[in-house]
Structure 1
């Protein structure tokens, strides 16, 4: 996705910090806020599609659920087909197992940490 200079409209690569035409400082777009689109385990009513969409966009869950039901009634089931597609296509939230580290907490081969005395500790 090319960026454009706000002053002169020159197309710039995403890594540009300055406009090559006029020298204007190019500011990067702020990152998108919110969570990734997943179907959470906790708080779901049927499949978790409505709560996943609501959390990903920062909306109220009850509003999304009400709009889904109203949309289902007024579109002759088209929203129901979209709900089924979301049920199939949106991944479930990964389950955090107690006692495990999150992925990437330790690089491969770096655990156990190197400590004086070696591992396992000698008695």
Structure 2
């Protein structure tokens, strides 16, 4: 029988965090979802915006509108899946 944590859904959710945001939290939410640095997502937004003449930047307000905001008590993703290994050498 498996045990599931009732406070954390068993799947990742694409949400805008309330703590780690610059403007609306879209880049931070995408970074958490895909397990990459949110700064990299912000740079990709800027580069694609420059390469497309600003058309790609229309995606940001659309995602801002569509992505739900993370609940205040929700743990941040990516959450640890296992405990950290013990320190080496082990202390007695």
TM score, norm. by length of structure 1: 0.48
Which structure would you say has the larger Rg? 1
Distance 2:24 2:50 in 1: 19
Partner of 2:55: 78
Q: Give the structure 1 partner of residue 22 of structure 2.
A: 45
Q: Which runs of 5+ in 1 are unaligned?
A: 1-30, 97-123
* Local SS of the residue matching 1:41: coil
Match of 1:60 in 2: 37
Name whichever structure is richer in helix by fraction.
Answer: 2
Q: 1:93 aligns with which of 66, 70, 91?
A: 70
Greater RCO, 1 or 2 (C-alpha within 8 Å, sep 6+) = 2
Report the count of equivalent residues: 64
**Mapped partners of 1:60, 1:43: distance in 2:** 11
- How far apart are the structure 2 equivalents of 1:94 and 1:52? 13
Runs of 4+ in 1 over 6 A off after TM superposition: none
Query: Once the two structures are superposed, what CA deviation does each residue of 1:71-101 show, in whole Å capped at 9, x if it has no partner?
Result: 11111122211111100000001123xxxxx
User: RMSD of the alignment, in Å?
Assistant: 1.6
TM-score (norm 2): 0.63
Question: Can you give the 5+ residue segments of structure 2 that lack an aligned partner in the other structure?
Answer: 1-9, 74-92
